[in-house]
Amino acid sequence: MSADDPVVSMRDIDVHFQDDGGVNPFADPETVRAVDGVDLDIPENDVVAIVGESGSGKTTLGKAAVGLQQPTGGTVSFRGQDIWTAKKRFSNPSIPYSEIRRSLQIIHQDPGSSLNPHQTVEASLAAPLKKYESELGPEDREARILAMLERVGMTPPHDYAQRYPHQLSGGEKQRVALIRALLMNPDLILADEAVSALDVSLRVEVMDLMLELQDAFDTSFLFISHDLSNARYLAEHADGRLGVMYLGELVELGDAEEVLRNPQHPYTKVLKWATPSLSPDEGAAEPPVREIDIPDPVDPPSGCRFHTRCPYATEHCKEATPEQHSIGAAAHQASCFRLDDGSDYWRSDPLEGASLDADER
Amino acid sequence: MSERTESLHAIDDGEAFEAVSDTTMSREERYRRLFDRLILAPGRIVWDDLRARIGASIILLYVLVGLFGPRLYKAPRVNQGPRSVTPLSEGLAYPLGTDNLGRDILAQLIHATPSMLQMITAGGLFVTIMGVTVGTTAGYAGGRTDRVLSLITDIVMTIPGLPLIVILAALLAPQNPIVTGLILTVNVWAGLAREIRSQVLSISRHSYVEASKAMGLSTPTIIVKDILPNIMPYVLITFVNAARQVIFASIGLYFLGVLPYDSVVNWGVMIDQAVSGGAMHVVSMAHWLIAPLATITLLSFGLILFSQGTDRMFNPRVRARHSTTTGSDDEPTDDDAAATTGGVVR
Amino acid sequence: MSGRADAATVPKTDTESEVVLSCRDLSVEFRMDRGTSRVLNGLDIDIERNEIIGVVGESGSGKSMFASALLDAVVEPGVTSGEITYRPSEGESVDVLDLSDDRLRQLRWEEISMVFQGALSSFNPTLKLRGHFVETLEAHDYDVEAGLERTRELLSDLYLDPDRVLDSYPHELSGGMKQRALIALSLVLEPEVLVMDEPTAALDLLMQRSIVSLLSDLRDKYDLTMVFITHDLPLVTKLADRIGVLYAFELAEVGSTEEILSDPKHPYTRALLNSTPDIDSPLEEMRPIEGAAPDPVNVPSGCPYHERCPMATEDCATIKPDMEAASATHDVACHHWERVDDEIDLTTEVDR
């Protein structure tokens, strides 16, 4: 439990959801393996962006990281202290759960439901202050709230403080949510698709604000997104990392600029293709996957989960699961057999529609 | 509502975070603001709506009569006046006439009011408190707590109501109106609990509830601040319905003779006596029956109107418009999804 | 309101291609307690046969109203005014807004078809997909057998397994599958024009991009004209031949995709491009747009963008700009479009 411990450390995290099967007692319970065997460390003052499509488990991973989702396997630790052990009543942890809870916060995707519609902005923001800075009197609380509102550009602050959420625009609501999280001086904030519901022209503004505040308050950010452009903007600006998830597994992780310039996992390459840019050149018009649809997370493919769609897949990919391989020196890793020159992959037969050297984009 | 992003003012980050007040708002000012928000604004909303205004006035009338009536008006006694007098035929001495034992009808109505109000309030509160507590706990806590509470609720709900009340009334022979009120609603709360539970289940999914949990707010705080305001309209309507149910049930049961009465003066008792005294057959005696009926109907009506009107009080959009401390401009913005509470009742 | 019936200022078309849908002074109004809300304001636009035109706007720009108006399907109590001339490949031109109910019913889906926003809940959950197609065919008195054959072909063009999909209930299909099935449903009666309002909004990246590729193929195979309405500018540039930009319920600019991307003439378009996070362009070049979009009841007089425009002059506040031709295929509604190159940098400058 030293100061060098990362803020949040996840080891071999599994989050599996059981579906009861409803009324039928003979139905097999279906297990959704939302997150499977993920390792991720988030040190102080770091920005990590996780990208994935639906069924990738990225939101579940995010919530597990901030202690809002209990993993069914593996451990989540805050500065060395297992979060869920600390929550148990008689465990006598070295870091009390209340402190952990304060240090891990969340900003939601939908600004419309992230604020209590019955409370004014001031009331919503006073709640964390009342709990964690109880020595502040009501005037001091108000002053702090007004100062923070002004800091994020909502002026005149008096006016905004008395408004109800329905009197704010989407961007304004997100800013209030951001202030609410920051007022507790957390060590890590989970931004769960925080800009996806906003208009395109507003996204850069809110992301800029997040970056500014991240820098000023020394908070780490875990930014979840299905949009690679947004994730890239945030991660690269902060010199942070980018991770890619597919069907519950973290398939690539590394320095954001590096991952995008030199993607190693076939799925990352596909995501890059799928993210349209403003340049008029077309790129390949056909999707570079063998199968457009994502497999059902209840029954993920065997071996490497991407093998059903990968343009480079072989028989070996169907049978064995690839390990994480490091590329270069800069902590860039990806789970693909192609990174291992000695792997059996190179000797096995390609699957239908795939080839060992499928055309690169 | 333009967004300005000149966020780099003279305030630097450390300052914003450490800011404390350099003026002290006087206590007076603070209380005034609190008063405006908690009492004046809702009051204004209620007054604004005609139904609520009428309903509130009616209820207020009954409450006042209940509080002061017995002190100000004579008590009913046998033979205090000539028998079976029609209303106003003796001037103002017996404004609603007398019954077949010479008791002043208006006096009976007035003196029965306190105990009726006690019964109604007891029954209504019991249903509401039990229903909300059980329903919210089951819906919010989930898991085993939910299963156990739901099981209890289901059992209570399926016990036949009328036979249960009849048996309890026979066993306990209640004289105290509060006890009567409780008996009459003994299994009504279960239905409300079920409905509240499903409401709470869907409200708990809202992001702000998760945000409150992430902030580490205590469960009671979350329930009071985040969950309850969303179910308040529902709760209010149920309180009113329960109150009405108590009224009608009590009258029905007195009428049937299940609930005992000796000298208890009660609107239901009056109806019973009026019917057995022949008020349904003799036109000149009709006033004896109509008076308590009208009294009951009016109270019931007042309760309904009031509940319809106050429903708006819990809608934050309406509150914002009526509060003087917020801007009056509450134009909906582009990304307003469906209203967060029920639609405005108009 | 200014009428813009002057044909000379309307976006020109090639002498070779015809115009299949032509809108003049198209407006949609809602009368509300607090004033009249004009959610579409005097649009003039020509849609050429067999082209894919993208209409881009942010939320509150009026784009969904535009989609509904094209089929005269604006919800009550909205009032649509103006003229929409539809010129089928065979037969006479008609004004869509003037048609009888019967004729309108026939026009919709048989000639002009639509894929709605939020379409994932458009299916009846109690009917299998086959039932939906049969219902549509029967409602328009089409041959069901032949229709189902066509359906199967459409579904496999969209990379769906026809047997599996037709025999499934909607909840058994994923979002991407439902969306593609909806596109097939909208094409089953062989329309000439397909209007799509944010058809890919709720879908995954890969699926969005794949559907966009598929649409291009469908256009070629079935001789369609497509109107693709969205807020996602980068996405539509991969599909559209021309792009129209909507701002505050009016058309700010229309031009070929290349022109709009590399040399937009309207200040709003420039600002929009600058503020869109883009995977390829350098980071420093993305900047937000100051200010907010106007309220439909309170649209400022003159140019709707003047309050946020860095080039605005006094004229802009009082005189509404007409559409002027910046090139043979590029029209822009701005008083100062000629100066825009000097005054507003396009940070996403891309080499032609």
Q: B333 falls in which pLDDT band (50, 70, 90)?
A: very low
Q: Which of A72, A80, A87, A4 has its CA nearest to residue A38?
A: A72
Residue that wins the pLDDT comparison between C17 and A73? A73
> How many angstroms separate the first and last alpha carbons of chain C?
39
Residue tagged 């029920």 (tokens):
B342
**What does the pLDDT look like over B177-193, one tens digit per residue?**
888 888 888 888 998 89
Per CB-CB distance under 8 Å, the chain A contacts of B211 are 106, 108, 114, 177, 180
Contact residues, A window 58-87, toward B, CB-based 8 Å cutoff: 66, 68
Q: With contact defined as beta carbons under 8 Å apart, do A294 and A55 qualify?
A: yes
Residue of A nearest to B227 (CA): A116
What pLDDT was estimated at residue C225? 93
Contact residues, A window 147-186, toward B, CB-based 8 Å cutoff: 147-148, 150-153, 155, 159, 162-172, 177, 180, 184-185
- The reply to whether residue C292 touches residue B3, judged by beta carbons under 8 angstroms, is yes
Per CB-CB distance under 8 Å, the chain B contacts of A102 are 215-216
The pTM for the full model equals 0.79
What phi and psi, each to the nearest 5 degrees, are found at residue C230? -160, 170
Per CB-CB distance under 8 Å, the chain A contacts of B320 are 163-164, 166-167
Q: Which of B20, B22, B316 sits opposite A164 (nearest CB)?
A: B316
Q: Which of B13, B335, B344 to mutate to test binding with chain A, by most A CBs within 10 Å of its CB? A: B335
**What does the pLDDT look like over B209-255, one tens digit per residue?**
989 988 888 888 888 888 888 888 888 888 888 888 888 888 778 77
Q: How far is CA C238 from the centre of its chain?
A: 15
What pLDDT was estimated at residue B46? 74
Q: Does the structure show a pLDDT above 90 at C245?
A: yes
- The reply to whether residue B320 touches residue A144, judged by beta carbons under 8 angstroms, is no
- Average pLDDT estimate for B57-72: 89
What pLDDT was estimated at residue A251? 93
What pLDDT was estimated at residue B286? 84
Q: Which of A202, A228, A289 sits opposite C279 (nearest CB)?
A: A228
Which residues 6+ apart lie within 8 Å of C329 measured at CB?
Answer: C11, C12, C242, C255, C256, C259
- Name chain B's partners: 3 or more CB pairs within 8 A: A, C
- Average pLDDT estimate for C263-289: 79
Q: Does the structure show a pLDDT above 80 at B311?
A: no
Tokens linked to B325:
């401390």
- Name chain A's partners: 3 or more CB pairs within 8 A: B, C
Residue of A nearest to B340 (CA): A117
What pLDDT was estimated at residue A265? 92
What pLDDT was estimated at residue C2? 38
- The reply to whether residue C293 touches residue B334, judged by beta carbons under 8 angstroms, is yes
What pLDDT was estimated at residue B148? 93
Q: C351 falls in which pLDDT band (50, 70, 90)?
A: very low
Per CB-CB distance under 8 Å, the chain B contacts of C61 are none
Measured CA angle at C138 (ends C132, C140), to 5 deg: 110
Q: Does the structure show a pLDDT above 80 at A182?
A: yes
- The reply to whether residue B5 touches residue C293, judged by beta carbons under 8 angstroms, is no
Residue that wins the pLDDT comparison between A282 and A195? A195
What pLDDT was estimated at residue A190? 94
A130-134, A303-307, B324-328, C16-20: lowest mean pLDDT where? B324-328
Q: Does the structure show a pLDDT above 80 at B40?
A: no
Per CB-CB distance under 8 Å, the chain B contacts of A165 are 316, 340
Q: C4 falls in which pLDDT band (50, 70, 90)?
A: very low
What pLDDT was estimated at residue A282? 60
Q: Does the structure show a pLDDT above 60 at B3?
A: no
Q: With contact defined as beta carbons under 8 Å apart, do A248 and A297 qualify?
A: yes
- The reply to whether residue A197 touches residue B335, judged by beta carbons under 8 angstroms, is yes
What pLDDT was estimated at residue C208? 86
Tokens linked to A160:
């905004």
Residue of C nearest to B331 (CA): C295
Does C347 lie at the interface with A, CB-CB under 8 angstroms?
no
What pLDDT was estimated at residue A361? 39
Which amino acid type is present at position C128?
K
Q: Which of A152, A158, A156 has its CA nearest to residue A177?
A: A152
- The reply to whether residue C292 touches residue A53, judged by beta carbons under 8 angstroms, is no
d(CA C108, CA A48): 49
* Residue B6 Cα, gap to closest chain C Cα (Å): 10
Residue of A nearest to C238 (CA): A282
**What does the pLDDT look like over C125-171, one tens digit per residue?**
899 999 999 999 998 888 999 999 999 999 998 888 999 999 999 88
**What does the pLDDT look like over A281-310, one tens digit per residue?**
665 667 788 888 888 888 888 889 999 999
Q: Does the structure show a pLDDT above 90 at B281?
A: no
Which residues 6+ apart lie within 8 Å of A234 measured at CB?
Answer: A47, A49, A207, A210, A211, A221, A223, A240
Does A128 lie at the interface with B, CB-CB under 8 angstroms?
yes
Q: Does the structure show a pLDDT above 80 at C35?
A: no
Per CB-CB distance under 8 Å, the chain A contacts of B342 are none
Strand pairing class (A332-334; A325-327): antiparallel
pLDDT, chain B, mean: 78
Does B28 lie at the interface with C, CB-CB under 8 angstroms?
no
Which amino acid type is present at position A303?
G
Does B6 lie at the interface with C, CB-CB under 8 angstroms?
no
> How many angstroms separate the first and last alpha carbons of chain B?
28
Q: Which segments within C12-134 are labelled E, that is strand?
A: 19-32, 35-48, 52-56, 79-86, 94-95, 112-115
- Average pLDDT estimate for A39-48: 92
What pLDDT was estimated at residue A176? 92
Tokens linked to B292:
């308590």
% of chain C surpassing 90 pLDDT: 20
Q: Which segments within A193-271 are labelled E, that is strand?
A: 220-225, 241-246, 249-255
Does B335 lie at the interface with C, CB-CB under 8 angstroms?
yes
Q: B330 falls in which pLDDT band (50, 70, 90)?
A: very low
What pLDDT was estimated at residue C128? 92
Q: Does the structure show a pLDDT above 50 at C264?
A: yes
Residue of C nearest to B332 (CA): C295
Tokens linked to A184:
């507790």
Q: How far is CA C63 from the centre of its chain?
A: 7
Q: Which of A272, A275, A292 sits opposite C159 (nearest CB)?
A: A292
Per CB-CB distance under 8 Å, the chain C contacts of B334 are 59-60, 293
Per CB-CB distance under 8 Å, the chain C contacts of A289 are 206
Q: What is the dihedral of CA B277, B278, B282, B286, to 10 degrees?
A: 60
Contact residues, A window 200-229, toward C, CB-based 8 Å cutoff: 200-205, 207-208, 226-229
Q: Does the structure show a pLDDT above 50 at A58?
A: yes
What pLDDT was estimated at residue B16? 58
Does A275 lie at the interface with C, CB-CB under 8 angstroms?
yes
pLDDT, chain A, mean: 86
Residue of B nearest to C61 (CA): B334
Residue of B nearest to A214 (CA): B13
What pLDDT was estimated at residue A351? 83
Residue that wins the pLDDT comparison between B44 and B235? B235
Q: Does the structure show a pLDDT above 50 at B39?
A: yes
Q: Which of C34, C290, C293 sits opposite B5 (nearest CB)?
A: C290
Q: A24 falls in which pLDDT band (50, 70, 90)?
A: low
Q: With contact defined as beta carbons under 8 Å apart, do C25 and C81 qualify?
A: yes
